[in-house]
Structure 1
Amino acid sequence: MGSTVETLEFQAETRQLLRLVIHSIYSNKDIFLRELISNASDALDKLRLESLTDSGLQADTSDLHIALEVDRGARTLTIRDNGIGMSRDDIVELIGTIAKSGTAGLLDKLKEAKDAAAAQSLIGQFGVGFYSAFMVADKVTLRTRRAGTDQGTLWESDGQGTYDIQAVDGLPTGTSVTLHLKPADSEDALADYLSEWKIRQIVKQYSDFIRWPIRMATERTDADGGGEPETLNSMKALWARPRSEVTEAEYHEFYQQISHDWQEPAATIHMRAEGTFEYEALLFLPSQAPFDLFSRDTRRGVQLYVKRVFIMDDCDALMPNYLRFVKGVVDAHDLSLNISREILQHDRQIQGVRRRLVKKVIGAIKDMQTKDSETYAKVWEQFGRVLKEGLIEDTDNTDTLLELISAASTHDPEKTTTLREYVARMKDGQDAIYYLTGESRAMVENSPHMEAFAAKGYEVLILTDPVDEVWTDRIPAFDGHRLQSIAKGQVDLDEPADGDQEANADKAQHEQDFAALLPWLTTTLSEHVKEVRLSSRLTTSAACIVGDAHDMTPTLEKMYRAMGQELPAVKRILELNPTHPLITALRTAHQANPDDPALAEIAELVHGSALLAEGGDLPDPARFTRLLTGRLTHTL
């Protein structure tokens, strides 16, 4: 007997998403069936797992399957499973609201999507495939009962903003989703979804590897005159087959099924380990990064199975965070079925599997770098920023990851370079790999720190990813050559040889000429700098700001502060160009009248200009503006 029907509203963002799904034009509406079959398969996986770990569940798992039922007269297509089912609360949480799926971000991306294929991919990435049913149906009816409970639930909606929900009796365990298809004359293709050939085609293309049978009564009849049930999918665990027996097309189809990525993967890794701990793995390196790659809530792609029984999605014990873009399946033979995430984190066998998987993935990228530079360049463009996180997280593979780095440099504005290639081009006598970090290539290239290096023909790596600020601080050297920021420490490119009497004389003269000005400036600017000294890295700029060898960079300091970490203020060093007209004029004015109050203002302007040149923040922008305006007025 049914209970009172309750009408509830969808969450506001869910309504927006439904409108986009219903009214957008997609080049391929077939994804609705793929998504609903995947949901049904997940429900069967969950029931199988719970029945093995919960002896009190008393669920019938003797014939777990998915059934597709067509009623041409009523124009309905039903996707039915005898899986775990849902409670009323499950339905309200999972279907009435999808805040956990990152709806706001999805809505923004759907609006930005420039083509239908991109929009389809986004729907899959956010795990909201249930709503794709409304692309083809003007009403969806869901009946479900959770295993271990007596009460079933009926849910129904036309996708226009509300849904009806009520308790019902007599439902079997599992879930059925009935799509009331839109009128055939509204869109000719919708008639195909009632056709056996079309359903077969979709199942073969998208769901052939699902481990549960997908059955449908065919147009052939049995002895009693009814439709004969037929299994439409092969149910072959692709990862369990020898690589020689799997075609590239099958790999690509499987990749699309587990990743919802419509592009072909950049690389496929199929491996089998035998011995004390047996497992199979089928991993894929995508060719394009998902847009939520850097989201805190992004999901990793590796699924864990035990003897082909699904255990968990997003198994973070099997893949480090910096390889979170890797998709695939790991099927272990010797784990307990009720193993938890907490146990996995400390399981020695799993840690061993993780180490081998990581080496395989990094090795595949290294092989790509060596044998297919074009594909490697695309993969690095998409995932290089993430891979560099491994230089912070994964000390075991530091050397290999350093070999993979592809960075912009001053050597060739059109091409990136590896560290190995940089070392091969180093000048005679050069012992350091020079680099400069910054927010953009233009900012780095125009930095005053670059002047002497450009004049002397020294190559400098241009590093603009936020993670570059961190890993360059952690990695001391590559191939015996230290990594040297040109914005830190002393850089003596112009250090004269012992026998160069003229150059030595010039240096000594500069030191003598500025003997009085430098300490005065250090005292005058003591609130902001710890030292003022002459520079050997400037050729055209008047001044620049540098840090000591082990100082934190301003960008890194800002990153930590943005994360809420309180840090003591880091005073840096102001370097002056002793040949610049402004600096020589300041020296002359100080020699003539060291007590002139205008000199202190000019000192502040020199310091502020150096800060601005490196993209830094002025301590008091209003004061800097007043001083600059005053000096300009006085000059005119």
Structure 2
Amino acid sequence: MSNAAEKPVENHVFEADVARLLHLMVHSVYSDKDVFLRELISNAADACEKLRYEAISAPELLSDDPTPRITLTLDADNNRLVVEDNGIGMSRDDMVEALGTIARSGTRAFMERVEAAKAGEGAQLIGQFGVGFYSAFMVADKVDVVSRHAGSAHAWLWSSDGKGSYTVTEANISDAPARGTRITMHLMDDAKSYTSKWDVERIVKDQSGHVPVPIDLIEKPGAEAERIGDGTALWTKSRSDITKEEYADFYRGLSGQYDEPALTVHFRAEGRHEYTGLAFVPESKPLDMFDPSAKGRMKLYVKRVFITDDAELLPRYLRFVRGLVDTSDLPLNVSREMIQESPILAAIRKGLTNRVLTAIEKLAENDADAFAKLWDAFGAVLKEGIYDDFERRSQLIALSRFRTTTSDEATRSLADYVKDMKDAQAAIYYLTGDNLDRLKASPQLEGFRARGIEVLLLTDSVDSFWVTAAPDFEGKPFKSITQGAADLAQVPKADGEAPVVPETTEAVTGFIAFAKTTLGDTVSDVRASERLTESAVCLVAPEQGYDRQLEKLLQGSGRLDLIAKPILEINPGHSLIAALASGGSDEFRTDAVQLLLDQARVLDGDKPQDPRAFAERLSRLFARALKG
């Protein structure tokens, strides 16, 4: 037994169609080739963990090498990559069993098991050495495995090109690890990047930087080992053992941002499902926060092995949150798509979402200034949840803060709003638009302001949608002040005057009738206004349908072909209306009515429907004024 070549070689033919199997591995199981390194490191870590367990009852297995480690050796000259561990190792039977599992089960059976995992049946596919190991053939045209079981005097060599057969022979003990497994990949020509220190180190840190075993990298044979993974994970530590600075450093490395976390949520869930969550709410808005295609930025780990950052661990309205979840309940699955459909992941998503929202609620209760900054940065996104997340709608509405006609530059909660409502006030009033200053100057506010009724000023696009999904708050319905009747007649004015039903003179009534005839089907109605106290006119939407701003948004996005005809409200007490009602030619009054409608459009943030006709009417008005 002086030379491994003299030892008998066992030739085995794969029973399965390996070419079809490898096609499945590349195209159906893994999303990218880099994952092979994650799988091999995961297998090596499992071997070290198994040795640690076995050594509890048989400490002699550790011999004089008690510290677990994984070593990656790059060999650019020979285009090879070596992954070695000092774990439990394999005997000859272990090797045949472990590296032949998929082959003997057959491609059909393997595909059935993949489907079983996809259906959430929990098949521990990657946990079996064979599946993860065979990912090596995505980058290597030949793989040699030398392994020596802990405490054994014999080592074994498994070798294959993955094209139909493999060999097993006893290895020369002097060429084998003292304990554990060494996998040598003879890389394909298009896989030379896996001998690059920078590339390999990046992959390890991204995907396996937190496995429970230290990882060393040797840049070339004979070079000194450099530690690139220390075998510890921040999230596995107790919160009391982690400083604010350590959390901040970890957040920056995880998110790629340079600000401080505004809120840190670190917890361990126990019970039916066990997992650790570490989530950060950034201090500033991520650049892609309003990108329609942007997803969350939560990473999923299984047993401290990175799986994906595409798992939907939080709903879209929390897409600004950065962090990770680590669980041992999920398998190191064969497909990221399958993970998305896992019921375990659904339970984790629910628990994580509740934890993050609860932490935000506590911040609102305990630190109003910090919460105000958080809301200013992310409130527009959080309000999407009022529309999308029925289960947490009440919670999100209570969290929300709004600028109002009485809040100046501060924001107020709906609880504050309801507490300060007028005795005769039956609804929570709001006004939507895209500009706060324009909203504050809106003529629709005049009657509400005169009576001291607070109005929510909503300037985010989502505001027009969530108010239609939220039926009420504490029994008070939401009502747009640009839709339907104002219902202000019974509310006293702010100066204490009793409510008075506005009187409309016979002349003004006649002018309103004339305006209705003149405008015809341009508007759905012309009527005297309860809400106007200073402006002459305004536009409102009919009682049924959408409010003015929502109509504009839907039409602008191509989701509404035809908008409802507005109602023109006329202030019967305005001096201009009184003057127009007192007389003048029909030609003059016709121009005046059309100009009043265009004035209302301008006040509503629109432009005149026919700019040329508007200019001509204005010119005729100037001419009459100069003649007079």
Q: TM-score range by the shorter chain?
A: 0.5 to 0.7
Q: Measure, in 1, the Cα distance between the counterparts of 2:574 and 2:565.
A: 24
Match of 2:546 in 1: 552
1:148 to 111, 130, 139: 139
Q: Measure, in 2, the Cα distance between the counterparts of 1:229 and 1:505.
A: 88
2:296 to 300, 322, 336: 300
In the alignment, structure 1 segments of 5+ residues that lack a partner are: 1-41, 54-61, 70-79, 84-144, 152-166, 180-199, 219-223
Equivalent residue of 2:504, what SS?
helix
- Post-superposition Cα deviations, 1:340-377, rounded to whole Å, max 9, x if no partner, equal 45544543332222122111111111100111111111
Q: Measure, in 2, the Cα distance between the counterparts of 1:269 and 1:532.
A: 56
Match of 1:193 in 2: none
- Post-superposition Cα deviations, 1:543-593, rounded to whole Å, max 9, x if no partner, equal 00011234323332232233232422311111000011221222222xx76
Q: Measure, in 2, the Cα distance between the counterparts of 1:520 and 1:410.
A: 35
Deviation at 1:65, TM superposition (A): 5.5
Letter in 2 for 1:310: F
Match of 2:216 in 1: 215
Q: Which structure 2 residues correspond to residues 200-599 of structure 1 after superposition, within 5 A?
A: 210-211=210-211, 213=214, 215=216, 228-231=224-227, 233-316=229-312, 318-338=313-333, 340=335, 342-495=337-490, 507=502, 509-510=503-504, 512-589=506-583, 596-599=586-589
Match of 2:100 in 1: none
Distance of aligned partners of 1:373 and 1:66 in 2 relative to their CA distance in 1, 3 Å threshold: farther
Q: Measure, in 2, the Cα distance between the counterparts of 1:253 and 1:290.
A: 17
1:176 to 196, 200, 205: 196
Q: Does the Cα contact within 8 Å between 1:68 and 1:215 map onto a contact in 2? A: no
Q: Measure, in 2, the Cα distance between the counterparts of 1:496 and 1:560.
A: 33
Q: Does the Cα contact within 8 Å between 1:269 and 1:282 map onto a contact in 2? A: yes
Match of 1:618 in 2: 608
Matched, 1:609 2:603: no
Equivalent residue of 1:311, what SS?
strand
In the alignment, structure 2 segments of 5+ residues that lack a partner are: 1-31, 44-67, 84-135, 143-186
Distance of aligned partners of 1:485 and 1:237 in 2 relative to their CA distance in 1, 3 Å threshold: same
- Post-superposition Cα deviations, 1:367-408, rounded to whole Å, max 9, x if no partner, equal 001111111111111100000000110011111111111111
Q: Does the Cα contact within 8 Å between 1:404 and 1:418 map onto a contact in 2? A: yes
Distance of aligned partners of 1:207 and 1:277 in 2 relative to their CA distance in 1, 3 Å threshold: closer
Q: Which structure 2 residues correspond to residues 72-151 of structure 1 after superposition, within 5 A?
A: 147-150=138-141
**TM-score after normalising by structure 2:** 0.66
Percent of pairs with identical residues: 37
Deviation at 1:279, TM superposition (A): 1.7
Match of 1:190 in 2: none
Q: Measure, in 2, the Cα distance between the counterparts of 1:261 and 1:415.
A: 28
Equivalent residue of 1:526, what SS?
helix
Letter in 2 for 1:245: D
Q: Does the Cα contact within 8 Å between 1:535 and 1:576 map onto a contact in 2? A: yes
Equivalent residue of 1:310, what SS?
strand
Q: Measure, in 2, the Cα distance between the counterparts of 1:428 and 1:619.
A: 41
Equivalent residue of 1:266, what SS?
strand
Q: Does the Cα contact within 8 Å between 1:209 and 1:238 map onto a contact in 2? A: no
Q: Measure, in 1, the Cα distance between the counterparts of 2:501 and 2:273.
A: 71
Segment of structure 1 superposing worse, 512-521 or 383-392: 512-521
Equivalent residue of 1:174, what SS?
helix
Equivalent residue of 2:345, what SS?
helix
Q: Does the Cα contact within 8 Å between 1:303 and 1:313 map onto a contact in 2? A: yes
Distance of aligned partners of 1:50 and 1:611 in 2 relative to their CA distance in 1, 3 Å threshold: farther
Q: Measure, in 2, the Cα distance between the counterparts of 1:526 and 1:534.
A: 17
Deviation at 1:304, TM superposition (A): 1.4
Q: Measure, in 2, the Cα distance between the counterparts of 1:170 and 1:557.
A: 55
Q: Does the Cα contact within 8 Å between 1:437 and 1:469 map onto a contact in 2? A: yes
**TM-score after normalising by structure 1:** 0.65
Q: Measure, in 2, the Cα distance between the counterparts of 1:324 and 1:399.
A: 20
Equivalent residue of 2:521, what SS?
coil
- Post-superposition Cα deviations, 1:468-502, rounded to whole Å, max 9, x if no partner, equal 111112212111222222222211323489xxxx9
Letter in 1 for 2:516: T
Distance of aligned partners of 1:459 and 1:253 in 2 relative to their CA distance in 1, 3 Å threshold: same
Match of 2:153 in 1: none
- Post-superposition Cα deviations, 1:233-262, rounded to whole Å, max 9, x if no partner, equal 423122233333333332222211110122
Q: Does the Cα contact within 8 Å between 1:44 and 1:65 map onto a contact in 2? A: no
Q: Does the Cα contact within 8 Å between 1:146 and 1:174 map onto a contact in 2? A: no
- Post-superposition Cα deviations, 1:154-192, rounded to whole Å, max 9, x if no partner, equal xxxxxxxxxxxxx9959768240579xxxxxxxxxxxxx
Q: Measure, in 2, the Cα distance between the counterparts of 1:394 and 1:566.
A: 24
Letter in 1 for 2:486: V
Distance of aligned partners of 1:267 and 1:376 in 2 relative to their CA distance in 1, 3 Å threshold: same
Q: Measure, in 2, the Cα distance between the counterparts of 1:50 and 1:230.
A: 19
Q: Does the Cα contact within 8 Å between 2:208 and 2:305 map onto a contact in 1? A: no
Cα RMSD between the aligned structures? 3.8
Q: Measure, in 1, the Cα distance between the counterparts of 2:500 and 2:255.
A: 68
Count, aligned residues? 464
Equivalent residue of 1:395, what SS?
coil
Deviation at 1:314, TM superposition (A): 2.6
Letter in 1 for 2:285: A
Q: Measure, in 2, the Cα distance between the counterparts of 1:358 and 1:384.
A: 16
Q: Measure, in 2, the Cα distance between the counterparts of 1:298 and 1:476.
A: 29
Segment of structure 1 superposing worse, 370-379 or 342-351: 342-351
Q: Does the Cα contact within 8 Å between 1:281 and 1:329 map onto a contact in 2? A: yes
Q: Measure, in 1, the Cα distance between the counterparts of 2:511 and 2:346.
A: 61
Deviation at 1:602, TM superposition (A): 1.4
Q: Measure, in 1, the Cα distance between the counterparts of 2:207 and 2:37.
A: 19
Distance of aligned partners of 1:391 and 1:172 in 2 relative to their CA distance in 1, 3 Å threshold: same
Q: Does the Cα contact within 8 Å between 2:386 and 2:396 map onto a contact in 1? A: yes
Q: Does the Cα contact within 8 Å between 1:472 and 1:483 map onto a contact in 2? A: yes
Deviation at 1:230, TM superposition (A): 4.4
Q: Does the Cα contact within 8 Å between 1:52 and 1:337 map onto a contact in 2? A: no
Letter in 2 for 1:250: E
Letter in 1 for 2:239: R
Deviation at 1:228, TM superposition (A): 4.2
Q: Measure, in 2, the Cα distance between the counterparts of 1:523 and 1:319.
A: 56
Q: Does the Cα contact within 8 Å between 1:543 and 1:606 map onto a contact in 2? A: yes
